[in-house]
Structure 1
Amino acid sequence: MGTSLILLAAGKGTRMNSDLPKVLHEVAGAPLLAHALRSGQALDPERIVVVAGHGSESVRVSVEDWAPEATVVVQEEQLGTGHAVAQARDALRGAEGDAVVLYGDTPFIRPETLQAMAEARATHDIVVLGFEARDPGRYGRLVTEGDDLIRIVEFKDASEEERALNLCNSGLLCAKADLLLELVGELSNENASGEYYLTDVPALARERGLSATVVRCDEAETMGVNSRADLAAAEVAYQDRARQDALETGVTLTDPATVHLAFDTVIGRDTVIEPNVVFGPGVTVESGARIRAFSHLEGCHVSRGAVIGPYARLRPGAELGEDVRVGNFVEVKNAVIGEGAKVPHLSYIGDADIGRRSNIGAGSITCNYDGVFKHRTRVGEGVFVGSNTMLVAPVTLGDQSMTASGSVITRDVAPGDLAIARARQDAKPGFAQRFFERLRAKKASQKG
């Protein structure tokens, strides 16, 4: 019997002061929703149900990107967390395993914590995730006796004695799917907010003679995002953890605090990352590479031994072979650069295939766009492209060919050939001197 996930993502997030649904705001280049989904997917769920509300169509599109197997249901009225879970009833019809309730604005729950909740279900009917809060504030409190959870009390409904407790409710809950939906159907909204609280489920279960317990996690895992300040704090927390993970897996970060990692960044051991490097989504760097300072990478693959930067930009579709050199102020997009090839500085390589051991001179550009279509440039192996060469695609340079500096190459170059495509230089003796004398005389007369 497989586990089902119920991910609550219906909140408007008023304090975000945004037209974007709260769960679509990004941490490390991915929406909060994606972080929560990734945690839940570690349980290898049989079904995933995302409960959307505000901006449901935008949420649906994002879910299709990050979890296309999920079902999106809409909570038309926000009547509380219990009411939100109830919207998953049809999507979970016939589900025989457990259901885990997650929150789209709580991105840092570890898969190990969810696994611990699943294991606790072997001995208890209801499992709630709690944490010891340094400052309990307005969190709901967990009232326990030994290992048993007696009830969850929302802060606004809690007595002074209950408010003195520091074991707090994260909101996450695990139970058998059919039992959870049955109990949710029995919830009452007779409380200070007039809402249907999911937090009332453990007490309802105990009234039936069922058991409930608490699995504890570190407070940092339960960080919720409700404001722009929270979003900034979540970014800091993610980056701190991701940098530490990179260091522990054998990556050198010469100035860790200045390196920005994405949700899915993969970096091999013995790679060196210099200061002020930014990784956007979709980057893989193999072992032993070096990413030099002030470089920006996204949607690219860097092979073993490559050296990138400083001040380089790798855009989506950049595929760099082993021992490639991409130097300062070079931009690469949708291009394959073969083993040992060099693009040392001040060049744009887009929609291109650069062969092994070829050298692209400074200031060279692949002219890939005609205003409507993109065209590809193909450079063979061992090619020497002279500085300031314009390669007007579609065009092919054969193996071991060469272009003269300052050429505009519009036709294919055969293997081994030298292509020269520039006007013949002509000299006009004394012209420059006479020209500037006339200009200076004119300027002097205007001042008079």
Structure 2
Amino acid sequence: MTQTDNDRKVASIIMAAGRGSRMKGYDGNKTLLPLVPEASLFEGRQPIILHLFEQLPKGPKALIVNHCKDDVVRLTTGTGAVYIDQLVLNGTGGAILAAAGFVDAAPAEQVVITMGDVPFVNGSSYATLVAGLATNDLMILGFSPADKKQYGVLEIADGQVRKITEWKYWREYPAGRQAELTVCNSGIYAVRREALAHYLPILASRPQIVQKEVDGRLTDIEEFFFTDLIEYMVQDGRPVSYHVVDDEVETMGIDDVDALQKAQAIYSARIR
């Protein structure tokens, strides 16, 4: 018997380890913040992380944890997720490297990678990414904002992603070229499990050295970025494509108080 599209499972990795230093006045894990505030902006119902779980495809799930781990575990115990410690907060790539064992063992051929503070991605968008893996090794969820701000952008040719270019580089492009780059990277992906397992050791062998302030001093720190793994795939000729959401609200991350208030207003309008 073969699996149908309806019963085929997809593994999901949810990154929820970081503190979120821009959420002023709140010391907890921001994935636990409420979409329905009650006692205060930071206290209420419908936590971001649980709303996100409702949209993920069926299949095994891994939650990457660190900051306020016990609180995250307590709230999400009923989801059936496994918990993976990101012992060092060393980038998005570091989070996925921590999940290497889960990737190797997952009873699924496709893997969704998403962020725990981006609650409004529709289940249909995840499904579109996964469907794209029929002809691609990796799919990127993109969005086209009126203002690209400092987002990374997708450089695209013939329907394929050739490069993800960070703001510090594309801002040096001529104005005409900047205008052509309309699709931004949301940081949400679907990838064939075989491809992900193949490239994780390569990513692990190539850390980037970044300078961060630690105890008031600039310190060199090793970090890993998932976008580097995508670059290695493109260099090897692996097909990488994308899907652009119709509404950029889907890819809105809840990084600060303003974004939280906006997300709560959006959710309130939807459930009226």
Q: TM-score, normalised by structure 2?
A: 0.82
Q: 1:2 aligns with which of 9, 13, 20?
A: 9
Q: 2:141 aligns with which of 112, 129, 139?
A: 129
- Once the two structures are TM-superposed, the CA of residue 159 in structure 1 deviates from its matched residue by 5.0
Partner deviation per Cα, 1:112-144 (whole Å, 9 max, x = no partner): 111111111111111000010111101111111
* Structure with max Cα Rg: 1
Q: Is the Cα contact below 8 Å between 2:16 and 2:117 reproduced in 1?
A: yes
Task: State the partner residue of 2:102.
Answer: 91
Q: TM-score, normalised by structure 1?
A: 0.51
Task: State the partner residue of 2:53.
Answer: 37
Q: Distance in 2 between matches of 1:160 and 1:242?
A: 43
Q: Is the Cα contact below 8 Å between 2:129 and 2:139 reproduced in 1?
A: yes
1:195 matched to 2:193:
no
Partner deviation per Cα, 1:263-282 (whole Å, 9 max, x = no partner): xxxxxxxxxxxxxxxxxxxx
Q: Is the Cα contact below 8 Å between 1:225 and 1:234 reproduced in 2?
A: yes
Q: State the Cα RMSD in Å.
A: 1.8
| Mapping for residues 374-389 of structure 1, pairs under 5 Å | none
| Mapping for residues 52-63 of structure 1, pairs under 5 Å | 52-63=65-76
Q: Distance in 2 between matches of 1:90 and 1:104?
A: 20
Q: 1:119 aligns with which of 114, 131, 136?
A: 131
- Segments of structure 1 that go 5 or more residues without pairing to the other structure are 244-448
- Once the two structures are TM-superposed, the CA of residue 180 in structure 1 deviates from its matched residue by 1.3
Bigger mean CA deviation after superposition, 146-155 or 87-96: 87-96
Aligned length: 238
Q: 2:20 aligns with which of 6, 13, 23?
A: 13
Amino acid at match of 2:265: V
Q: 1:49 aligns with which of 62, 65, 68?
A: 62
Task: State the partner residue of 1:311.
Answer: none
Amino acid at match of 1:2: K
Q: Distance in 2 between matches of 1:151 and 1:48?
A: 28
Q: Distance in 2 between matches of 1:177 and 1:64?
A: 25
Q: Is the Cα contact below 8 Å between 2:91 and 2:225 reproduced in 1?
A: yes
Task: State the partner residue of 2:30.
Answer: 22
- Segments of structure 2 that go 5 or more residues without pairing to the other structure are 1-7, 37-44, 212-221
Q: Is the Cα contact below 8 Å between 1:48 and 1:71 reproduced in 2?
A: yes
Partner deviation per Cα, 1:37-58 (whole Å, 9 max, x = no partner): 1111xx211x100001111111
Partner deviation per Cα, 1:334-390 (whole Å, 9 max, x = no partner): xxxxxxxxxxxxxxxxxxxxxxxxxxxxxxxxxxxxxxxxxxxxxxxxxxxxxxxxx
Task: State the partner residue of 1:396.
Answer: none
- Once the two structures are TM-superposed, the CA of residue 147 in structure 1 deviates from its matched residue by 0.7
Task: State the partner residue of 1:70.
Answer: 81
Q: Distance in 2 between matches of 1:114 and 1:36?
A: 11
Amino acid at match of 1:64: T
- Once the two structures are TM-superposed, the CA of residue 35 in structure 1 deviates from its matched residue by 1.5
Q: Is the Cα contact below 8 Å between 1:83 and 1:184 reproduced in 2?
A: no
Task: State the partner residue of 1:206.
Answer: 234
- Once the two structures are TM-superposed, the CA of residue 178 in structure 1 deviates from its matched residue by 3.3
Q: Secondary structure at the match of 1:199?
A: helix
Q: Secondary structure at the match of 2:191?
A: strand
Q: 2:200 aligns with which of 184, 191, 210?
A: 184
Of all paired residues, the percent bearing the same amino acid is 27
Q: Secondary structure at the match of 2:105?
A: coil
Structure with the largest fraction of helix: 2
Q: Is the Cα contact below 8 Å between 1:13 and 1:21 reproduced in 2?
A: yes
- Once the two structures are TM-superposed, the CA of residue 192 in structure 1 deviates from its matched residue by 5.5
Q: Distance in 1 between matches of 2:158 and 2:104?
A: 35
Taking a change above 3 Å as real, the CA distance of residues 13 and 98 of structure 1, as seen in their structure-2 partners, is same
